Structure 1
Amino acid sequence: MFSIDQLHTLVQTLTKSEKRYFKLVCSLQEGDKAYLTLFNLLENQLEGGGALYEVLEKQFPGSSVEPVRKHLYRVLMKALRLYECEKTTENKLASLMQDARILFAKGLTELGFDQLEKIKKLAMRTEKHLYYLMAARLELQQLVRTQFSTLDETQLLRKQQQWQTVMQREQTSHQHSALYEILLCRYWKNGLVRSMNEQTRLNDLLLEEHQIIARNPQKNSFEAQRLHLHFQSVFFLMTNDAEGSLRAFYDLHELFQRHQDLWTDTPIYYIHLLDGILTDLRGLQRYDDMDYFLDRLATLTALPEGLSLLARYLTFIHRLARLNDTSQTADAVALVRTVASTLERELPGLPANVVALVRLSVARTYRDGGQPTLALKHVNAVLNDRATAGRTALQSQLWYNQARLLNLMIHTDLGNLDYLRYELRSVERKLKADKKLYQVERSMLSYLKGFLMGKPDTTFIPTVQQLADEPTERQLVLALGLAKWAADNCRNTEASQKQLVD
């Protein structure tokens, strides 16, 4: 059951036009409109949590808010469905399906069949095969009701064969999508391949993908090409072939530009495409080439609110990464300040991995900007997050290790040596247990152990520079800002030791 907090979040994410449409729907209804009072309250109350409940208690004493809350949710969702019904091809197809069912129910069989033909043609043109299958199945059901009065057996067999052909095509597409989703899940959860075992598991997926393509008669369709290029780009990215991944992403971007009418209903794939290109360009340190794709991502403001928010924060992450990587710290801090007032309110509307990346990017910026306390606040928010499926699931995320390493770096800057000793042992145990003690982690832990004993490793800076040149380690080195931190920390340590000697 949805809570008042979730309803408050829903209201806060509405666009101005959605709010106007909702109020127009409300004006057509008669009777008590306490639900509209609740809507106005949730719209005007920007702060959630305890502050929201205090206002609700005054306006709706006792438990009187419960029936109002439920009714508001029903009316609001109905209004949003009506508002969206003609905006996308899928919504148009769904509306046409509903129209066809109504026409058949009213006995207007001929008009119903005409409607189904429209659906099938639109579905095939836009590669929405599931809607074709639903329309074709409804057509066959209605033909049974009419005792096949309008066609002979040959025509019936042709319709059944066409349904079977489209069904097989959709099944192949589903299998291809499933492989891509598994690959994408591994990338978001575990990051780049950093061991032979991970490489072997990835090669198994690649072999399966080749087999699916070989038996796909529609391999030149937009959907088949999109899935293949997406799969290739992420595969190359995970196997540290940034050049190969970037080539696949560029091919994918060209494909999207040629068939804009076929993906506007599912813009999430275009967002993932731009995010992948920007990630590759950063990994290759081709920062000037990022401008065009950053502008493309920043212009995706006409999307549904959730996707628009995702595009905006991915743009923020990549712009912040470029500023941090190129040592433009003052500009990076200024960019963070532009979102500081809305950050906590908007983050719950983003996927968990994006929330973590936003916080870690902000934490790295504050750390580089000499504000370790603010940096620590965001790192702790990542480490203490329970919003996902619990701590075990959280620790399997790509960004969890990054957060723990960044936590060590910040406490080193703060000089919290007692805490650092405890946390260093904890991190090492965890990484060894998970078999994730890779080169960056090993080098950093070794340096910090020496640092705590007053004997910092003098080879740490060249080691970090060497790791930055290795594809398997470069992404983490860049994300942590490890090269700059190593230089600053070693310089400060040398200065401190010199003062003690003097």
Structure 2
Amino acid sequence: MVKSESLIYLVNSLTKAEKKNVSISISNSKSNFAKLYHIILENKISTAISVREEYDSICKGSSFETAVVYLYEFLLNSILELRKYQDVNFMLFDNISKARILYEKSLYKECFSLLKKTKKKALEHENNYALLISSRLELDYLLALNYPEIEEKVLMKKQFKLNEALLIIQKTNQISSLLELLKHRMLYLGNSRTEFQKNNLNDLVMSEMSIMNSFRKQNIEIRKLHQLFQANYLIDVGDYKSALRAFYELKTLMLENKHLWAESPIYYLLIMEGILDTLRGLRNYEGMNYFIEQLNSLQDEGQYFNVRIQCTVFLYELFPLLDNGDFISSHEKIKLHSKDLIKNENLLSLSQNAELKLHIAITYFGLQEFKKAQKVLNKIIFASKDYAQLPLYRTIRLFNLMVLYELKDFELIKYESRTLYREIQTAKQNYNTERELIKFVNKESVPYLNSKRLKLWSEKEVRFKIIAEDVYEKQTLKYFNFLIWIESKMKRMKLSQILLEKQGAQSFS
């Protein structure tokens, strides 16, 4: 992403509070960077080329690149200044910078007073990084001043506290590294689909257990990371019930330590999303309602956070309707709530934006409005290349094959199928759902005679049941059951009808 494109994205992602702060700062400015800011702000759907053309026509002879760099830095500084009053973590590190300045100006008493206050606040919020830096600075400054009126016991106590913080940081970093590796494998290799893939996670599990067994000090951050690791691992291998128990324990831990949430309780939101995802995997829709209500009560003054909550609530209210084939009610919900989300989609992450678009497209698909479904999908498929890095992108492309099939665009199906099939072959995985879908859409039609269709379905039915029950294939069928769509085409039944029958059968089993 070039600098001008990054600037456009940054301006469009500003919250109301951030825009207000920037507007106050440049309200009377006639500078070129201020003009550039208003050009981007007033034209939300704009490209780097169109912004440059308008800038050149307004600010003739001025360097566009210089204005871009200056405005980019100005916006970051403006956001940073605002965050110091919104987030305790920003405030802690701002205090550390101020303490450095006070020491340089020989205001030693004020410096040590600020460091003391910073250490106390860092301990309260278990920010061991801020505690480490402020403690180290304090010791360095005391050494430089020849330990004014400091007894050895006091000095050793300060050193002990610093070493304790360092040990916690080391353990936290070790568990964080394992969680990062686990999430990376889940994102870029997909959820475990074979026993071989499952066994490949054992190195991470054994390392995580070893770290936890070697560290007995009770620390909320380490306990939180441990539960997150366990829950994500269990989801990855398809053990939803155990994952749900881990998430419940994590929820309890976070509720008992609300003082660590700072301004936006993002970790608590991640926990709630994990619980809801697990409950959906178990088809426990009634259990989801309580946690959706809990999410609605989390609204705060942060616009990013609120939009993320709004999107999560919307999706998890939509999922039960889609899973049951109730596309009419899904469409009504989309008409009521999606407008605000689409308006603020620039505040959503790429993955959440892609998930939102996919499920809106699924709704249109279920209503047989295939052109509308294609239009929504194209906003992801032909958007930023960053979307292509998401695991969900393959699901979107698979779903797009179904849309193309319904639109009878078989030439494009052949092209897309070849691309997807090459990727599957390169990955050397048993992507059975993908293979079945690609094979089906390339046949162009199913047998017209009822007897032939039923014979063909009887051959596939057993195989489809095996695929659907496979704990690893369930990860592919999580967003949409491609196998049920194939069944609907072969039986010449409505997709909504089969989904409702399947859901009813599951509820009685």
Is TM more than 0.5 here?
Answer: yes
Separation of aligned partners in 2, 1:401 and 1:6: 26
- Report the CA distance shift for 1:47/1:417 in structure 2 as closer, same or farther (over 3 A): closer
- Equivalent residues of 1:116, 1:135 under 8 A apart: yes
- Report the CA distance shift for 1:437/1:160 in structure 2 as closer, same or farther (over 3 A): same
Which residue does 1:24 correspond to in 2? 24
**How far is the alpha carbon of 1:247 from its aligned partner?**
1.1
- Determine if the alignment matches structure 1 residue 402 to structure 2 residue 395: yes
- Report the CA distance shift for 1:176/1:303 in structure 2 as closer, same or farther (over 3 A): farther
Gaps of 5+ in 1: 495-502
State the one-letter code of the partner of 1:47: I
State the one-letter code of the partner of 1:406: F
Which residue does 2:224 correspond to in 1? 226
- Determine if the alignment matches structure 1 residue 283 to structure 2 residue 281: yes
- Equivalent residues of 1:11, 1:42 under 8 A apart: yes
- Equivalent residues of 1:417, 1:452 under 8 A apart: no
- Report the CA distance shift for 1:62/1:400 in structure 2 as closer, same or farther (over 3 A): same
- Determine if the alignment matches structure 1 residue 437 to structure 2 residue 435: no
- Report the CA distance shift for 1:493/1:112 in structure 2 as closer, same or farther (over 3 A): closer
State the one-letter code of the partner of 1:398: P
Which residue does 1:500 correspond to in 2? none
**How far is the alpha carbon of 1:251 from its aligned partner?**
1.3
- Determine if the alignment matches structure 1 residue 197 to structure 2 residue 196: yes
- Report the CA distance shift for 1:416/1:472 in structure 2 as closer, same or farther (over 3 A): same
**How far is the alpha carbon of 1:487 from its aligned partner?**
4.0
**How far is the alpha carbon of 1:118 from its aligned partner?**
1.4
Q: 1:481-502: CA deviations, max 9, x gaps?
A: 33552343123399xxxxxxxx
Separation of aligned partners in 2, 1:375 and 1:263: 39
Which residue does 2:247 correspond to in 1? 249
Which residue does 1:272 correspond to in 2? 270
**How far is the alpha carbon of 1:480 from its aligned partner?**
2.0
**How far is the alpha carbon of 1:238 from its aligned partner?**
0.8
State the one-letter code of the partner of 1:82: E
- Report the CA distance shift for 1:114/1:343 in structure 2 as closer, same or farther (over 3 A): closer
- Report the CA distance shift for 1:436/1:369 in structure 2 as closer, same or farther (over 3 A): farther
Among candidates 350, 355, 358, match of residue 357 of structure 1: 355
Separation of aligned partners in 1, 2:99 and 2:320: 53
Which residue does 1:474 correspond to in 2? 474
- Report the CA distance shift for 1:407/1:75 in structure 2 as closer, same or farther (over 3 A): closer
Separation of aligned partners in 2, 1:285 and 1:135: 49
- Report the CA distance shift for 1:448/1:80 in structure 2 as closer, same or farther (over 3 A): closer
Separation of aligned partners in 2, 1:461 and 1:379: 29
- Equivalent residues of 2:176, 2:225 under 8 A apart: yes
Matching of residues 138-177 of structure 1 within 5 Å: 138-177=137-176
State the one-letter code of the partner of 2:12: Q
Which residue does 2:499 correspond to in 1? none
Separation of aligned partners in 2, 1:26 and 1:451: 60
- Report the CA distance shift for 1:298/1:54 in structure 2 as closer, same or farther (over 3 A): farther
- Report the CA distance shift for 1:35/1:253 in structure 2 as closer, same or farther (over 3 A): same
**How far is the alpha carbon of 1:48 from its aligned partner?**
1.3
How many residues were matched structurally? 486
Separation of aligned partners in 2, 1:347 and 1:198: 35
Which residue does 1:102 correspond to in 2? 101
- Equivalent residues of 1:101, 1:112 under 8 A apart: yes
- Equivalent residues of 1:13, 1:305 under 8 A apart: no
Matched residue SS, 1:471: coil
Matching of residues 364-375 of structure 1 within 5 Å: 364-375=362-373
- Determine if the alignment matches structure 1 residue 292 to structure 2 residue 285: no
Moved more, 474-483 or 366-375: 474-483
**How far is the alpha carbon of 1:102 from its aligned partner?**
2.8
- Report the CA distance shift for 1:337/1:413 in structure 2 as closer, same or farther (over 3 A): same
**How far is the alpha carbon of 1:467 from its aligned partner?**
4.0
State the one-letter code of the partner of 2:132: L
Moved more, 54-63 or 91-100: 54-63
- Report the CA distance shift for 1:400/1:99 in structure 2 as closer, same or farther (over 3 A): closer
Matched residue SS, 1:388: helix
Q: 1:423-474: CA deviations, max 9, x gaps?
A: 4455334323312333323443454566657465313456545544443323
- Structure with greater contact order relative to length (CA < 8 Å, sep ≥ 6): 2
Separation of aligned partners in 1, 2:39 and 2:338: 24
Q: Name the Cα RMSD after superposition.
A: 3.1
TM-score (norm 2): 0.84
Separation of aligned partners in 2, 1:34 and 1:382: 34
- Report the CA distance shift for 1:339/1:40 in structure 2 as closer, same or farther (over 3 A): farther
State the one-letter code of the partner of 2:325: S
Which residue does 2:179 correspond to in 1? 180
**How far is the alpha carbon of 1:325 from its aligned partner?**
0.8
Identity %: 26
Gaps of 5+ in 2: 495-509
Separation of aligned partners in 2, 1:447 and 1:318: 30
**How far is the alpha carbon of 1:227 from its aligned partner?**
0.7
Matched residue SS, 2:229: helix
Q: 1:337-382: CA deviations, max 9, x gaps?
A: 4577677775555444333323322332221121222323444554
Matched residue SS, 1:479: coil
Q: 1:245-284: CA deviations, max 9, x gaps?
A: 1111111111111111112356332232122111111111
Separation of aligned partners in 2, 1:35 and 1:417: 50
Separation of aligned partners in 1, 2:477 and 2:29: 62
Which residue does 1:331 correspond to in 2? 329
Separation of aligned partners in 2, 1:36 and 1:451: 56
- Equivalent residues of 2:193, 2:471 under 8 A apart: no
